[in-house]
Amino acid sequence: MVTSRKTLDLIEKLRARGQSFCVATVLRTADSTSARAGAKAVVTPEGDLHGFVGGGCVTGAVRRAALQSLELGEPQMIRVKPKDEVVTTTDVDGVTLHKSSCPSGGTVDIFLEPMKAARILLICGASPIAQAILSVAQCLDAHLIVAASEEDHEKMPGAAAYLDGFDLDALTLDTQDAAIVATQGKRDRDALRAVIASGAGYKGMVCSRRKLNTLKEELLSENLNLKAGFDALYAPAGLNIGAIEPEEIGLAVITEIIAHRRQQSDRQQQPQNDVDQEVG
């Protein structure tokens, strides 16, 4: 078996943990090389390579290209050839070339497939609206986590993970992730405090403006450092679609989260000179 069971097991473990990694697969070899077609390796975001896809000259190129694929979120094919045969960065068929100094003189084609960790969607609460948000979110490519009192977990079936209460220290939320408070009167303050202080790119709360103002005043009296989090808070959460029923509100919230993510992605991809022109 070219692909070792150990490598396949590692892929499954990383997927189960929700971690990012890149799979490198040898597609073709020519002349003398230790690599074999079908062999696979896993490259982690730290640059660690697990598995065997060739000697040192090949693995160095695989590491560099795999990290690039992970950063861009795009698959690519690379070709590692003897350095005296490489006179440009791209081969005649459009494949990116990498130089090899190995005396064997072989050529290896490798396909790199980034497996990005699913974005986290944290739902705080187990209210009917929280249940509706979870139901709608299950059709998304997201790692769904529910934070609620343990006795309420059964009201929120289908999540990937559950937290008892609103201690988010075990989570590492970043700008790609979303967190929504839909506690509807059950420990609102605790949930909002935790979400506001988190690193989630989208922070929202399903509530009335009156409740929001009351909670904001109370929490800022505790900690003024939360002000920046409140400035970025979507509340009342959800796009204005005239939603009334919990299912409609759940749809409005998920739609707003998607819109926020797409807008964020567009800003990151926009050329810097275009941004400068708009600001100026």
**For the chain, which residues make up each domain, given as ranges?**
5-9+19-115, 119-269
| Alpha carbons 9 and 147: distance in angstroms, whole number | 30
Distance between CA 147 and CA 153 in Å, rounded? 8
Q: What CA–CA distance (Å, rounded) separates 55 from 26?
A: 13
Measured distance CA(114)–CA(104) in Å, rounded: 29
Count how many Cα atoms sit within 13 Å of the Cα of residue 131 in the half-sphere of its side chain. Answer: 11
Q: pLDDT tens, 205-220? A: 999 999 999 999 999 9
pLDDT of residue 279: 32
Looking at residue 58, its amino acid is V
Q: Which of 39, 40, 37, 38 minimizes the C-alpha distance to 11?
A: 40
The DSSP string of 169-196 is TT----TT-EEEE--TTSSHHHHHHHHH
Share of the chain above pLDDT 70, in %: 93
Question: CA-to-CA distance for 156 and 133, rounded, in angstroms?
Answer: 10
Question: Which CATH number does the domain 119-269 belong to among 3.40.50.10890, 3.40.50.720, 1.10.20.60, 1.20.1050.40?
Answer: 3.40.50.720
pLDDT in tens, 111-151: 999 998 888 999 999 999 999 999 999 998 888 999 999 99
Is the separation of the CB atoms in 54 and 80 below 8 Å? yes
- The predicted structure's pLDDT at residue 72: 86
pLDDT tens profile 121-131: 999 999 999 99
Which residues does residue 43 pair with via DSSP β-bridges, in sequence order?
A: 22, 49
